[in-house]
Structure 1
Amino acid sequence: MDRLAIVIVTFKRQELLSVLFNSILQLTQAPWRVVVVDNENSPKTAQMVSDFAQRMNGQWGSTVDQVDSDGGTSRVCYDPQKENTGGSGGFSEGVRRAYELGAEWFWLMDDDVAVLPEALDRLDAWTDRYDVIQGQRYDYDGTPFFWQHHFVVPLCIYNPLSRAGFNGADHIDVNVMCFEGGLFRRRVVQKIGLPDYRFFIYYDDAIYGYLASKVTQPVLVPDFILRRTREVRHQEVGASGVRQISSTSDMTRFYIMRNRGCMARYFKLYGDYNPVGYGFGTFLSFAKEVLRLLMVDRKNFGSGWKRLWAGYRDSKRVLHDPSWKPMPPLE
Structure 2
Amino acid sequence: MSERICAVVVTHNRLTLLQECIESLRNQTRSLDEIIVVNNDSKDGTKEWLNKQKDLTSIHQENLGGAGGFYNGIKAAYEMGYDWIWCMDDDCLPTAISLQQLLDFRKNDFTILNSFILSKTNKFKINFGFFDYAEKVFYDNIDQVSGKTFLHGAGFFNGTLFSRKAVAKVGLPNPKLFIYGDEYEYYLRYLKNDIDILTVTSSIVYHPEQRYKYFGKGKLFYRFNYLNDLGVKYFPRNIMAIWYYYEEFTFRKLVKTYFCDLAGLLFIQKKIRLVLKYVFAILSGVLFTLKNEIG
Q: What letter matches 2:124 in structure 1?
A: T
Aligned match of 2:138 in 155, 162, 167? 162
Q: In the alignment, does 2:10 pair up with 1:47?
A: no
Aligned match of 2:157 in 168, 179, 183? 179
Counterpart position of 1:325 = 293
Unmatched runs of 5 consecutive residues or more in structure 2? none
Q: In the alignment, does 2:55 pair up with 1:94?
A: no
* TM-aligned CA distance change 1:171 to 1:234, over 3 Å: closer
* TM-aligned CA distance change 1:316 to 1:237, over 3 Å: closer
Aligned match of 1:254 in 226, 229, 233? 233
More strand by share: 2
1-side partners of 2:237 and 2:20: how far apart?
Answer: 33
Alignment RMSD (CA, Å): 2.7
Counterpart position of 1:285 = 257
Counterpart position of 1:116 = 95
Unmatched runs of 5 consecutive residues or more in structure 1? 57-75, 153-158, 268-272
Q: What letter matches 1:312 in structure 2?
A: I
Q: In the alignment, does 2:130 pair up with 1:148?
A: yes
Deviations 1:67-99 (A, max 9, x none): xxxxxxxxx210000x21111111111111111
Counterpart position of 1:60 = none
Q: Contact 2:149/2:202 (CA < 8 Å) preserved in 1? A: no
* TM-aligned CA distance change 1:8 to 1:207, over 3 Å: same
Q: What letter matches 1:17 in structure 2?
A: L
Counterpart position of 2:278 = 308
SS at match of 2:37: strand
Deviations 1:260-311 (A, max 9, x none): 23313531xxxxx25xx5211111111221232145411x2x2111111111
- Using the size of structure 2 for normalisation, the TM-score is 0.85
Q: What letter matches 1:117 in structure 2?
A: A
2-side partners of 1:9 and 1:185: how far apart?
Answer: 19
* TM-aligned CA distance change 1:292 to 1:188, over 3 Å: same
Q: What letter matches 2:264 in structure 1?
A: R
SS at match of 2:66: helix
Q: Contact 1:251/1:307 (CA < 8 Å) preserved in 2? A: no
1-side partners of 2:42 and 2:85: how far apart?
Answer: 23
1:184 Cα deviation after fit: 1.0
165-174 vs 6-15, which moves further? 165-174
Deviations 1:145-172 (A, max 9, x none): 24333579xxxxxx8x622754755323
Counterpart position of 2:111 = 131
1-side partners of 2:245 and 2:44: how far apart?
Answer: 38
SS at match of 1:320: helix
Counterpart position of 1:34 = 35
- Using the size of structure 1 for normalisation, the TM-score is 0.77
Counterpart position of 1:7 = 8
Aligned length: 283
Q: Contact 1:265/1:326 (CA < 8 Å) preserved in 2? A: no
* TM-aligned CA distance change 1:314 to 1:238, over 3 Å: closer
Counterpart position of 1:197 = 175
Structure having the higher Rg? 1
Counterpart position of 1:65 = none
